Amino acid sequence: MPGPTAKSRLARRLDAAQQAMISDLTKIRNIGISAHIDSGKTTLTERILFYTSRIHRIAEVRGKDGVGATMDHMELEKERGITITSAATHTEWNDHHVNIIDTPGHVDFTIEVERSLRVLDGAVLILCGVAGVQSQSMTVDRQMRRYKVPRIAFINKLDRSGANPKRVVEGLREKLKHNAVLMQLPIGLEADFEGVVDLVTMKALRFDGENGETVVEVDIPADMLSESEAAREEMLDAVSMFSDDLMEAVLEEKVTEDLVQDAIRNGVLSRELTPVYLGSAYKNKGVQPLLDAVTRYLPSPLDVENTGVDLSNDDAPITIESDSQKPLVALAFKLEDGRYGQLTYIRIYQGSMKRGDSIYNARTQRKHKVGRLVRMHSADMEEIEEAGAGDIVALFGIECASGDTFTDGTVELAMSAMHVPESVISLSIKPTDNKAQANMGKALGRFVREDPTFRTWVDEESGETVIAGMGELHLEVYVERMKREYQVEVETGAPQVAYRETISQRADFDYVHKKQTGGSGQYGKVAGYVEPLTDGSEFEFVDEIRGGAIPTEYVPSVEKGFRQMLDKGRVIGFPVTGMKVVVNDGQSHSVDSSDMAFQAAARGAFREVYGRAKPIILEPVMKLGVEGPTEFQGGILKSVMQRRGSVVGTTEEEGFCQIEAEVPFAEMFGYATDLRSLTQGKAEFTLEFAKYAPAPAEVTEELKKKYADRRVGDDEE
């Protein structure tokens, strides 16, 4: 992370006109660029920055011999040609201030998309003009729905062989259930793609100049006029549903551009309409009209309802107003650690923040002073004096965790946290020499703070350090970052699937913990039952004690004792999930009962009842999406079935097939190599966690045997 170098000292300062623009909340747009991997997110963002004069030359996404795109600032990103971390920047277009976050497409880095969409007001969903709606497109769309983010769609890569925007629109409607409406028609396709017809203005747009920077508005080609008029009628029919004035104007044939644009905006803000734009970012076509759509149709901070909780009123829901004059409420959504301390990305929802202000962390109750306030442009920083409601900025040198809320201390409010998926893979690591041990600890501490899906712990039995994450690539990147950023060489163990244990039936318990030593003893009796949870919850504790059989002050001790046993099940040593514990009776002793005694009684009750509740093993099942030439479809299906996979669906279009399946994660190691050889390197796949499901009997027996062998080995040592 850059420090106060000459480059950052020379960073431009916002002039009065720009600051006034940011102060007008109607002129702010906070948007994310999201899509399936390799759909052109970073390439599109590069063009946006160029056309808005934020950068003065275009760099491409390519390997280490190239410069690399602006938003891919990590060396690993430049080498691999992928986005690993979300990167923030800001620019201006049509007198609007636009904060942009470019997010990764690979499912292993899905937390970057989650935390970005949590703080954004709108999004651009990019789709490949050839492949259309892909597996990760569905994941990103689901995340947008979770955070109620309005979006517009951009069909990219129309210069590629096989591009078919109409088929992609049908995929949007059928697979994602969008009310997708074309706002443009392509002028030519594939190698003949020249520009677009704007169905609102009924003009053709061409993109001239060395980098497509000059937008030329001309008459629609004669051979496209009837097609364009039919498409416009279809568009007006769809968008008039969102404006009575437009519907009336259509009937009276008095349609104006303003009426159409107002109706489109109404549909987008209600999340009931997805306008679709066309282009080729790589060929510098169609980007400026997309920017126009961002400022016209996507919401400002004033158009979005943000809610938090009132900590002073039993966490009651409360609306956070986008008003810079109200008390400060800001959310820390992303952390980065560098040579000059922790950089904390924040979204200001309410109030304002100035350099030198004191702010309070709602979780820790700690007071911090705002020393440096900056705007981010990928890895570069621009110093600012003040930021207000609706803005996305960054703070230096403030220790906090991802998801913390900051206030000015006059209110006790907190924003709701983002969704954090469970990790599905782990592996053991150890430094190759003792000198690297301390640096490894620093690296792991930093990575855990930065990434909520990256976890680490020390295994009690082996004493080994274990790291866990969302996939093989996820952990591979962090191991490589340890080497590069902390000079730590580590040896890695075999990847380990994150299994879970659960119970399959109800069982009663009635347990007495009694221990007599010199002086006072320990006594606690707990009785009740356990049963499986069917709603997907991890654990539920229910107090049904009547008549003070267990004193009220000891009930939390009983819950704590049961929770302590969830970390390690008794079948294969993995965490226990999906268990409900109901305590309805017990007994205490006036002298010998204590907090520790009832914790011990609960642990004993768990050990006693767990076996009778018929524990089973759950294995993570992944959603697998494979895309490749149809000629390899049979071989791909066979490879899925060989891995205990079940095919959910297949589609086949123009020599290209998409296969969706559910496959146990344990069977997916090495699949990339197998698929590459099977399809001559012409197919690709994505893997995303879907659910936990009971493991088959043969898998269960094998895991039990390995666990027993490991315990015997530990005992012999």
| Predicted confidence (pLDDT) per residue in 515-532, tens digit | 876 667 889 999 999 999
Nearest alpha carbon to residue 198 among 228, 226, 153: 228
Q: How many CB atoms lie within 10 A of CB 635?
A: 15
**Strands 455-458 and 122-128: what pairing?**
unpaired
Joined together, the tokens standing for residue 700 give 């269960």
Q: Residue 235's pLDDT is what?
A: 96
Q: Which residue has the higher pLDDT, 87 or 401?
A: 401
Q: Residue 539's pLDDT is what?
A: 94
Q: Residue 13's pLDDT is what?
A: 44
Summarised one tens digit per residue, pLDDT across range 268-311 is: 999 999 999 999 999 999 999 999 999 999 999 999 988 888 88
**DSSP secondary structure letter of residue 432:** S
Q: Residue 709's pLDDT is what?
A: 79
Whether 260 contacts 254, CB under 8 Å: no
Summarised one tens digit per residue, pLDDT across range 15-73 is: 555 555 567 889 999 998 888 777 788 888 889 989 998 888 887 654 444 444 554 44
Q: Residue 139's pLDDT is what?
A: 80
Q: Residue 68's pLDDT is what?
A: 47
Summarised one tens digit per residue, pLDDT across range 681-695 is: 778 788 888 889 999
Joined together, the tokens standing for residue 455 give 């976890």
Q: What mean pLDDT is reported for the chain?
A: 85
d(CA 313, CA 392): 28
Mean pLDDT, rounded, for 305-331: 89
Nearest alpha carbon to residue 303 among 547, 51, 26, 550: 26
Total-model pTM: 0.73
Q: Residue 686's pLDDT is what?
A: 80
d(CA 140, CA 135): 9
Summarised one tens digit per residue, pLDDT across range 649-658 is: 898 877 778 8
Mean pLDDT, rounded, for 480-504: 88
Q: Is the pLDDT of residue 9 over 70?
A: no
Q: Residue 86's pLDDT is what?
A: 61
Mean pLDDT, rounded, for 601-630: 92
Q: Which residue has the higher pLDDT, 426 or 585?
A: 585
Summarised one tens digit per residue, pLDDT across range 109-135 is: 677 777 777 888 999 999 999 888 887
Amino acid at 715: D
User: How confident is residue 339, by pLDDT bands cut at 50, 70 and 90?
Assistant: low
Q: Residue 67's pLDDT is what?
A: 44
User: How confident is residue 84, by pLDDT bands cut at 50, 70 and 90?
Assistant: low
Q: Picking from 94-103, 446-455, 514-523, which range would have the lowest pLDDT averaged per residue?
A: 514-523
Whether 370 contacts 357, CB under 8 Å: yes
